[in-house]
Structure 1
Amino acid sequence: MRASNPSSVVQPLANPAMQALRCITCHAGYPLAELPEGCPACAGAGHPSSLEVVYDTQDLDFAPKSGSYTWGHWQPYLEGVSLGEGATPCVPVPALASLADVAAVWVKNEGANPTGSHKDRMSAQAVSRALAIGAHEVVLASSGNAAVSAAAYCAAAGLQCEVATYQALPAVFDAALRYYGARRVACDNGHARWAHVRRRVREEGAFALTNYSVPAVGSPVFGVEGYRSVALEWVAQGCRPDHVVVPTARGDLLWGIYSALRDLFALGHLPKLPRLWAVEPFPRLSLVLAGASQQSEFAGATQQFSTAGSTVTAQQVLAVRRSGGGAVAIDDAAARAGTRHLAAAGFWVELCAGAGFAALQALRADGRIDTTEAVMLMLTARGDRDPGQA
């Protein structure tokens, strides 16, 4: 069993600008505490909703800090567990802009993170929170990038990590979990994974890194806040997209990007709020935006491993509506075509990231993106371990 909290681990330093938690839907306020099931008021009313951190905006100057947590002053922790995540390349790709018939295409290459995906940003903040409150074990439901990332950061932090996975876990992920020393619990389906995590959290006090609620909410707040750094980076890197295209399952990354852009715009660091587009492998959010119940289950089959799932969360709905964007359903064939276009430009990505370029083409074709506009594509993970690419 892994030792807890070794002396070599950087002790988390909380952001003094962090004041409270707030529901993203009803705006009810809560103290800074563990509320992994989201807003109690909204849950009691039958429409669960995620929380966000409220910061003292007087302390949110837009100047990168030194140290491993460059944007810690915009996130829960100024310092904490790090493997060198963030500062990923933001690259203009004229060939893709020409192909899509838009003014510019930038790619934010999250495959350059330590474990190969954007999940490292969530793991750094979430595992730091676990250390800060004295947790000894992190538990999550994942059969992909989040599992590998959490296991790596827990190894670095000296915390035990338990991952509820599907029975048929790809061998490369299974090997990673074993090498990082994580415990794997194989489950028959998604709801069984969530039930296992729910029991471990409610009955045994484990620290939850991902959602386990039904109906679903986003992952617990302190981890989701880690995704704010993605947008902060590209703005600091000089990118000012009109549209941002984000592969989406339950919307953690989508909300983190939205919340940072919203704050940058409110504080005068952006001239306008970009429109966010959630890319999904089959209609889920698209149906909710058209009037279906957010609490429904949406069936569909896909090889887009990282964005599969049957649920929609409030953070997805609110991020696209408040930014003036929407949802785009891209099937596997179109995602493969998009992946080939990205590979031809030098970017080998997971299948759902390839769906992002296909979504850009669809949005341009139906006029929701204009030829004079600039677009940011989120390349969420490398393609070398995506089972959908086999």
Structure 2
Amino acid sequence: MSTGYGGRLSCSRCGTEQLESAAFAPCPRCVSAGVSVNLAPVYALARGPLPRSEEPGLFRYRDLLPLRPGDDPVSIGEGDTPVLPLSRLGRELGLHNLWLKDESRNPTWSYKDRLAAVAITKARADGADTVVVSTTGNHGAAVAAYAAAAGLRCVALTLTTVPATMRTLMQAYGASVIAYERPTDRWQVMSQAVAERGWIPMSGFRNPPVGSNPFGVEGYKTIAYELVEQLGRAPDVVVTPVAYGDGLAGIARGFADLQAMGVIDALPRLIAAEVFGPYAQALQTGEDVTGTVAVETSVAFSIATPVGTYQGIDALRRSAGTAVAVPDDEQIMALQLRLGALEGLYLEASSIVPLAAAGALARSGELGLDELVVAIGTSTGLKDVDATAARLPAPAVAEPTLAALDEALGHMPEPALGGH
């Protein structure tokens, strides 16, 4: 049996299969049961080593992506991001084998490039001329960049509250950016555009949410493939920032592929790092859908959602994982600065939440001291510099003498020194 995509999608909850034409709607059978479930592409998986091709970027794994043989990849250098040891920060958090998959090294500085590369490739191959995305920034920037590379029009529907840097990136990549006051306003307009104009959705637009373009979600599988190749084994635990569960679900499918092919023996435990706790609540109650939890403004705005999705809950349950809520802005931002001072890495607030979650699990004894734990650093801190700058002192101004320099340095905190 050869490995490859069969042109159909299925529901992870009930197993119902659908044609590609139904890709952007939730499973009708599950909707009738009161549960909105995203569909996922179906593959024939042969046992053996991870298949690789000579294609660029993450498309070297194209046999495990939802593409036909003649689909020309849209790649601008995504994937192959480093996995880095966090030795010093790990010791502070109580984890001696903590690593970071640094997705800020992707072309638009976030892991959304993986989704965009696959979804845009599929859209162009299917003859699309316009793609539309509902976004708080990273998702829109990635889609805009890959749409530009593919020669497609991109319409980005965002919020008035997103940082200016996010809007600038989308517009710099050629997207038409429209801002709304409420998140659900974007979904309403996007739903009409998909239904009446045939625009291809690059993100979720349903209420209740089910997740993004299911072809694009498959791009996140490549994180799992890379981790196993880079580490020489599967991690014991992978901690991912989570909103509607696209990255979490995609990574889970990647590890499931590897297990089905016999590349790994067991699935890593997956941890959802969230802000306000809808996944933690669903796991506690045993429900297939999350309730709506109370939210407020958060520095980790891109994952500060009041609800989750079935695909996220399913990924956690299949891996015997859990979810950890980290709602404290000051805790998140203090850890952002600690990561920078100890490891020389600057990640956005949402990417810090997995590190805070891992630390909390280590303190409670739910993570072992020597377990191989990988946190997914989804985006760079440069996307929201103002949030960091607000918590930093103004630079000292000194006279141009060594004595004045010494005096200024004497009023500053001791640097975080020490070897690995």
Say whether 1:335 aligns with 2:332: yes
Q: Quick one: which amino acid aligns to residue 243 of structure 1?
A: V
Query: Per-residue deviation at 1:167?
Result: 1.9
8 A contact 2:6–2:43 mirrored in 1: yes
Aligned residue type for 1:222: F
Question: 1:289 — aligned with what?
Answer: 283
When structure 1 is superposed on structure 2, of 31-40 and 178-187 the one drifting more is 31-40
Alpha-carbon distance in 2 for matches of 1:85, 1:162: 22
Structure 2 Cα separation of the partners of residues 86 and 177 of structure 1: 20
CA pair 357-16 structure 1, distance change in 2 beyond 3 A:
closer
State the distance in 1 between where 2:151 and 2:22 align: 21
1:256 aligns with 2:250: yes
Structure 2 residue 230 is the aligned partner of structure 1 residue 242:
no
- Pick the aligned partner of 2:350 from 349, 352, 376: 352
Q: CA RMSD in A?
A: 1.8
What pairs up with 1:104-253 in 2 under 5 angstroms?
A: 104-237=97-230, 238-253=232-247
Distance 1:168 1:361 in 2: 30
Amino acid at match of 2:380: R
1:335 partner letter: I
Matched residue type, 2:31? A
User: Equivalent residue for 1:5?
Assistant: none
Are the aligned partners of 2:95 and 2:370 in contact in 1 as well (CA < 8 Å)?
yes
Please give the alpha-carbon distance, in whole angstroms, between the structure 1 residues aligned to 2:26 and 2:43. 18
Contact 1:305 1:352 in 2 (8 A): yes
User: Aligned partners of 1:22 and 1:389: how far apart in 2?
Assistant: 42
Q: Which runs of 5+ in 2 are unaligned?
A: 390-420
Structure 2 CA distance for aligned equivalents of residues 143 and 17 of structure 1: 31
Instruction: Tell me by how many angstroms 1:38 deviates.
Output: 2.3
How far does residue 96 in structure 1 lie from its aligned partner after superposition? Answer: 2.8
Are 2:45 and 2:260, in contact at CA under 8 Å, matched by a contact in 1? no
Q: Residue 27 in 1 paired to residue 23 in 2?
A: no
Deviation string for 1:47-94 (max 9, x for gaps)? 100111111102874143222111111111374111110000012232
Say which SS state the counterpart of residue 111 (structure 1) adopts: helix
Match of 1:276 in 2: 270
Residues 60 and 73 of structure 1 are in contact (CA less than 8 Å); yes or no, is this contact kept in structure 2? no
What secondary structure, in the 3-state scheme, does the structure 1 residue paired with 2:285 have? coil
DSSP 3-state at the match of 1:335: helix
What TM-score, normalized by structure 1, do the two folds share?
0.92
In structure 1, distance between residues paired with 2:233 and 2:333: 27
Once the two structures are TM-superposed, the CA of residue 229 in structure 1 deviates from its matched residue by 0.3
Q: How far, CA to CA, are the matches of 1:44 and 1:136 in structure 2?
A: 33
Aligned to 2:294: 299
**Structure 2: distance between partners of 1:298 and 1:212:** 20
Aligned residue type for 2:345: F
Equivalent residue number for residue 326 of structure 1: 322
Q: Distance in 2 between matches of 1:59 and 1:122?
A: 26
Contact 1:339–1:355 under 8 Å retained in 2: no
- TM-fit CA distance, 1:357: 1.1
1:12 aligns with none
Alpha-carbon distance, 1:144 to partner: 0.9
- 2:415 counterpart residue number: none
CA distance in 2, matches of 1:181, 1:60: 42
Identity of aligned residues (%): 35
The answer to whether the 8 Å contact 2:137/2:170 transfers is no
Shift, 1:292, TM fit: 7.5
SS at 1:327 equivalent: strand
- Tell me if 1:315 matches 2:305: no
TM-score between the two structures when normalised by the length of structure 2: 0.86
* Residue 56 (structure 1) aligns with: 44
**2:348/2:380 contact within 8 Å kept:** yes
Q: 1:265 to 1:382 in 2, by over 3 A?
A: same
Aligned residue-pair number:
376
Over 3 Å counting, the alpha-carbon distance change for 1:76 and 1:59 in structure 2 is farther
Larger of the two Rg values belongs to structure: 2
Code of the residue aligned with 1:389 in structure 2: it is: T
